[in-house]
Chain A
Amino acid sequence: MKTIFISKLKPFLDAVAEQMALYIPKKAGQYYVYSKYESSTEVEFNSIRACTPVKEFLLPVRELAATFPESFEPKDVKPFAVFGLKDCDLRSIEVLDKVFAEEEFKDPFYIKRRENMFIIASDCLEAGESCFCNIVDGRPFPQQGFDLNVSKVKEGFVVEAGSQKGEDFIEKHAELFSEVTDAMLAERDENRAAVQKQLEQKNAELKFGIPLKEIVESSEDSEVYDVEMKNCIECQACTRICPTCHCFYLFDAKQKDYFAKMKMWDSCMRMAYAAVAGGANPRKVLGDRYKHRLMHKFVYFLDRYGIDMCVGCGRCVDGDAGGIDLREVLRKLGEEFKEKDEKKAKVKK
C-alpha cells in the first residue's frame, strides 16, 4: 500500500471534507470530543483517543428499527469520514463488525453506516493516563482496519493507505502529497517504539505472564467483584462509554400515524437488565452483573468470536463516577490467581 508525505493537515482534511462530512476530535477540557469539521475549524492532531467511543458513529444511542403496519427498510447513508481514530478504536470496530456484520443475522442499519465510513486513523503521541492497550495486544499505532493512517513526524505527517478506498484517495489528490523519505519512516518507527515503551512501563503491574482470559475465567468465586462494587453508583457510564459494549433493547412506541419499534443502547449493569416478566433475574446482585460484564469482555466473547472484547482504551476508567478502575480490578484478580496457583503447587508437592 502507498505511503506518502504531507507537510500540513489542513489541506488534506479540506480535501476529505469536500467529498463527505468529516468528524474530527477537538479538545474539550482535558479530553477530545468529536465534532463536525468546517473549513474554519482549527485542526488538532489528537495525541490519544477521543473520550467519546467510535460506536456513536455506527450505532446511534436511539434509532428507528421497524414500523407497523407498513414495514420499513434502512435508509441510505451518505459517506462520512472520521479522523484521528487510534488502534483501540479500530479494534473496537472489529468487535462490532463481528456482532453486527458477520453473523447469520446482520444488522442492516449498522452495515449501511459501516460501509460508508471512511476511516482516517492516526498514531498515538503518548500513552494516555488510563491507557492499557498493550495488555490486550493493542498498539499505540494502527495495525489494520483503516483507510488512511496518519503518523506525526517532525516535518509533517506520514500518510499510509490501508485499503483500496485509501489508495484511491491518495491517487485522486496526488498534488497534495509528496514522497516520503526513509528518514521519516525511521522517525515514525522510533516514535511508535517510544510510546509502546511508555505503555509497557506504566502498565508493568498488569503483565502477569498468564492470559487474562485464564485469570478472569477462574475468578468465578472471587470476592473482588462484590468488594469493587461497593463504590459503584450504578450510573452505567462504563458501558455507555465503552467502545465495544453494544447491548441494546427494543421497545415499541406509538407515533402519530404508525407504530414504531425503536432500538436503544442498554447496559448490563442495570438492575432489571436480564429480568423476565415472571420475576426471575439471574443477576440481581451488582457484583454478579460486574462479573458477567468482565466475563463477557475477557472470556465469553473470545470463546465465541476469537478476539478480545476489551481493547484497553481506558475509557471506563475515565468515565467511572464511582472511581472503579478496571486496571485495579484486573491486578487484584491476577494476584488472586497467582496465590491460588501457588497454593495448588504446594499441595502437589
Chain B
Amino acid sequence: MNQNPYQPINGEIVEIIDESPTIKTFVVVPEGDFKFATGQFVELTLPGVGEAPFTPSSSPAETKKMDITIMKAGRVTGLLHECRGGQKVGIRGPFGNGYPIDDFVGKEVYVVGGGVGLAPIRSLFLTLVDRVKDFKAVVCRFGARTPEDFIYKDTLFGPWQKIKGVDMKLTVDKANGGWKGPIGVVTTILEAGDVNAKNAIAVVCGPPIMMKFTTLKLLELGFKDKNIYLSMEKNMSCGIGKCGHCMIGKYYVCQDGPVFTYEQIKNYPNIWD
C-alpha cells in the first residue's frame, strides 16, 4: 500500500463520452493495475483544482482502465467537464466497502437506479451479469428525468434489455418524442409482483430524494431493512475515515460505506439530506 494515503497515483483521461446534457463518462488509465470491488469509490484529483469522490462505473474485471461517470454539479466536476483527452489526473483509493455480491447468490436482486445513480449501478450490473446464473433473478428498474437524460443509452436501450436472466424496465419523469415506456418517477414502476420482497435483495442508487422514496416504497412492498442496500452520497474528503465530513452517526461513509444496509443507518438523523 502507498505509504502516504493522501498521495494519489498518476493517471490520464484517455477518452471522454457524452452521456447526457450534464453527464460525461471519463475513461481513466491509471499508472499500473488498479483493482477495486464494485461499489467502492475513488478520489479523483484534477491537479491544482480539487478532488472529488466517484464510484467507477466499469466492471472491476477491467484493471487497466476504468470508467468514471460524472455529473456536472459543482466546481471540480464543472472543470472536469471542460477537460479533454490527455488530461493528467490523480487517483486515490479504492476506498470503503462495495456490494457484498456473494451474499446475493441464490437470491432475486432488485436493482433500482435513478439519474446519475446508474453510474455505480452499471459496475454492479456488469458484475452481476458476468455470473447471472448465480442469482435467482436480476430485476432492474431505472428512471431518468427524460429519455435524453438516461446515461449509457447505447447499451441500456439495446443489449442490456436482451440479456437472459435480466428483467429490465425503464421509466421517465417526462416523455418526449418516441418514448413508448412508462411515465412517472421510478417508484411508480416498483410493483408487488416484480420479486418476492421477503427474501429479495434490493440495491438502490440515485439522488437523495429518489433514495428516500424508493426505500419507503420497498419497505411497503415487504423488503426487510437488512436487505436494502443503499449507496450513500456524502462529502467524502480524505477517504480514510479521519477528516469527518462524511459521517452518518458513528459511521464514516468513506470507510464503513459507501454501501450500507438501511438497517445500519435508519436510526441516524437526516440520512436523506
Chain A residues close to B by CB (< 8 Å): 65-69, 71-74, 99-100, 103-108, 220, 246-254, 259-261, 263, 266, 268, 273-284, 288, 291-292, 295-296, 299-301, 303-304
* B236-273 at interface with A (beta carbon < 8 Å): 237-238, 240-250, 269-271, 273
Chain B residues close to A by CB (< 8 Å): 3-8, 10, 45-52, 71, 73-77, 88, 90, 207-208, 233-235, 237-238, 240-250, 269-271, 273
Q: A71-B4, A288-B269, A300-B250 are in contact. Are A253 and B48 (CB under 8 A)?
A: yes
A253–B51 alpha-carbon span in the complex (Å): 11
Whether A246 contacts B6 by the Cβ 8 Å rule is: no
Whether A252 contacts B45 by the Cβ 8 Å rule is: yes
- Starting from the known contacts A65-B6, A266-B244, A282-B270, 11 additional A-B residue pairs (CB-CB under 8 Å) come to A68-B88, A72-B7, A73-B7, A99-B242, A260-B48, A274-B234, A276-B233, A277-B73, A282-B234, A283-B270, A300-B249
Q: Nearest residue in B to A301 (C-beta to C-beta)?
A: B250
Which listed residue (A66, A247, A277) contacts B4, Cβ 8 A?
A: A66
B46 neighbours in A (Cβ, 8 Å)? 252
CB distance from A59 to the nearest CB of B (A): 10
B245 neighbours in A (Cβ, 8 Å)? 247, 249, 266, 273-274
A301 neighbours in B (Cβ, 8 Å)? 250
B51 neighbours in A (Cβ, 8 Å)? 250, 252, 261
Whether B237 contacts A249 by the Cβ 8 Å rule is: yes
A254 neighbours in B (Cβ, 8 Å)? 48
Whether B6 contacts A263 by the Cβ 8 Å rule is: yes
A250 neighbours in B (Cβ, 8 Å)? 6, 51, 237-238, 243
A222–B106 alpha-carbon span in the complex (Å): 45
**Prevailing SS type, chain B contact patch:** loop
Query: When A and B form their complex, what is the total count of cross-chain residue pairs whose Cβ atoms lie within 8 Å?
Result: 136
Q: Nearest residue in B to A72 (C-beta to C-beta)?
A: B7
A selection of 13 A-B contacts at a CB cut-off of 8 Å is A66-B4, A69-B47, A72-B4, A106-B5, A107-B5, A261-B7, A263-B6, A273-B245, A274-B234, A277-B73, A278-B233, A282-B271, A301-B250
CB distance from A73 to the nearest CB of B (A): 6
Whether A275 contacts B247 by the Cβ 8 Å rule is: no
* 8 smallest beta-carbon distances between A and B, as pairs: A277-B74, A105-B240, A259-B47, A300-B250, A65-B6, A254-B48, A277-B73, A247-B244
A247–B252 alpha-carbon span in the complex (Å): 12
A300 neighbours in B (Cβ, 8 Å)? 247, 249-250
CB distance from B24 to the nearest CB of A (A): 15
A248 neighbours in B (Cβ, 8 Å)? 238, 242-244
A260–B51 alpha-carbon span in the complex (Å): 11
